[in-house]
Every structure is written in C-alpha cells, then in structure tokens.
Amino acid sequence: MVDISTSGLIRQPARVERRTTTGRQATRLTPEKLPAGVRLLGPAIVLVIWEAASRLGFLSPGTLAAPSTALWTGYEMLMDGSLLPHLTASAGRAYSGLLLGVVAGVVLALLSGLTRTGEALIDGLVQIKRAVPTLALIPLVIIWLGIGEAMKIFLIFTAVLIPVYINTHAALRGIDIGHVELARTLGLSRAEFIRHVALPGALPGFFVSLRLAVALCWTALVVLELINTQTGIGYLMNRARDWGQTEIIVVGIIIYAVLGLVSDALVRLLEQRALSYRRALGS
C-alpha cells in the first residue's frame, strides 16, 4: 500500500486531505462592533494633525487658529463673562423657534393625519412650503416682521415645522392596519382609537422628526445671526471675521457642534424613555 501510494500511481482523493484541517471558520460578513469611544479615533487624529500643523508653522493663525488656542480663548471668554450672553441669546432664538415649530408641526400633522378635511386643507400647503427654501423667504419676512428677533424666530419656526409635520403625518398615515382592525373588533370609539392606538403608534415617527428639527434649528440660526444683531454666536463669529480672529470663529464652530450633539443626545434620551417598550426587543 505504502509503495503504491508513494509511487504516485494512486492519488489520494483531495477531500481526504481537506478533512485533516481543523474546523471550518464561518466567514464574518459584517464588521465587528466597535468598543465604546473608539469612534472618536478619527476626530482625535484630525485634531493632532491640525495642532501639529499650527505649531510647526504650516498653518498661520490668520488662516486657522490652533485648536489649543481656540479652546483657551473659549475658556477665557467663558470666565470673563463675554460668551454667556451670546450663548443664551442664540439658545433663546433656537429653542423658541423649535418649540413653536414642533407644536405647530404636530398640531397640523394630527389635523391632516386624522381628518379628511384637514388633509385636504393642510397637506398641499405644507408640501408647497417644503419646496421653498427657508433662505428664499428671508426678504419677505424682513418686510413683514422687520429685522429683529421676531423675524429670526419666525424663520426658525417655519424651517422646523416642515420635518416635524412630514414625519409625524407619515407615521400617522402608516399606522398598522392590523391595529386598526383590532380597534374595530374591540369596539373602540374614535377618541379611544386616537388616544390608545394612533398617537402611540405615531410616536416613533415623531421622535425621528424631533431629532431632525433640533439639528435644523441650530443650522438655520447660523445664517440668521448674520443679519442685524449684536448678540448670538453667529454675531460673534461674524465680528471675529472682520477682525481676523480665527480663534473666535473656531470657538463658535465648536459651540455649534457641542450644542448640536448635546441636543441630539437629549432627544435620544427622551426617546428611550418614551419608547421603553421597544428596549425589550433588543434584549
């Protein structure tokens, strides 16, 4: 046997050799989950390169201030009290507009999503408003409301209204037909149906819209604070541009980023609380 097989006249079938390999590893098709905090690696590398470029003189302070300079400037402004009034002014505008927009968006979505008359009257109007960029309304709104606070809050309000309406309305219309049938066979009244089935069913869609709205209110603010104002983060950045203070511009950018992230985290926390019944699904 040994002679024959080694002489090469009889080849061992290939599968016999394969059988000797230990276990077959299943191919991993999706990337492994990242440990907490590791997704900050990218931003950290950018920061290090940016800082190094500034210190080594590749990046002049007139073009872009070093992150350390900006952080120090921000700290100083916070301590001497020159930052806070601007921060509260901006936050006041953003959140007033957000509040009005969310309330109006939800009310309109309910009217339009739950009644035929409401849908006939409201939906077309909102779709038209959606097609018009907020910035295109600025000249008209200035003529109507002047260049003061009312104009800024109104424009944030109209910008926020749209995603809140669209998503909440879609969630109301997309209600599970099985739940509607259940409500009918249980003999629920229309009010009971809205309260126990339609509204809770639309809540996830509403939270999606809230996250969009929170991001949008800050985005709209940046542009609006370039128009006639003596307060606000946008004003601060605009003035710094005139004086060539790039470190203050970077401070403004950082503040917008932090506010955006914190606002989003707050909404997500709220969402987790309100939709706690869903957490069971993941476990």
Residues that bind other proteins (CB under 8 A): 178-179, 181-188, 192, 196-197, 200-201, 203, 275-278, 280-281
Give 27 or 189: the residue with its C-beta nearer to other proteins.
189
- Is the Cβ–Cβ distance between 112 and 122 less than 8 Å? yes
Look up tokens 């440990």; give the residue: 35
Minimum Å gap between C-beta 194 and other proteins is 13
Burial state string for 87-125 with b = 16 or more CB within 10 A and e = fewer than 16: bebbbebbbbbbbbbbebbbebbbbbbbeeebeeebbee
Cα–chain center distance at 280 = 25
Give 121 or 275: the residue with its C-beta nearer to other proteins.
275
Minimum Å gap between C-beta 106 and other proteins is 18
Minimum Å gap between C-beta 277 and other proteins is 4
Q: Which of 232, 170, 222 is nearest to 201 (CA)?
A: 170
- Is the Cβ–Cβ distance between 101 and 217 less than 8 Å? yes
Give 129 or 179: the residue with its C-beta nearer to other proteins.
179
Give 110 or 217: the residue with its C-beta nearer to other proteins.
110
Minimum Å gap between C-beta 131 and other proteins is 33
Give 44 or 182: the residue with its C-beta nearer to other proteins.
182
d(CA 163, CA 78): 34
Minimum Å gap between C-beta 280 and other proteins is 4
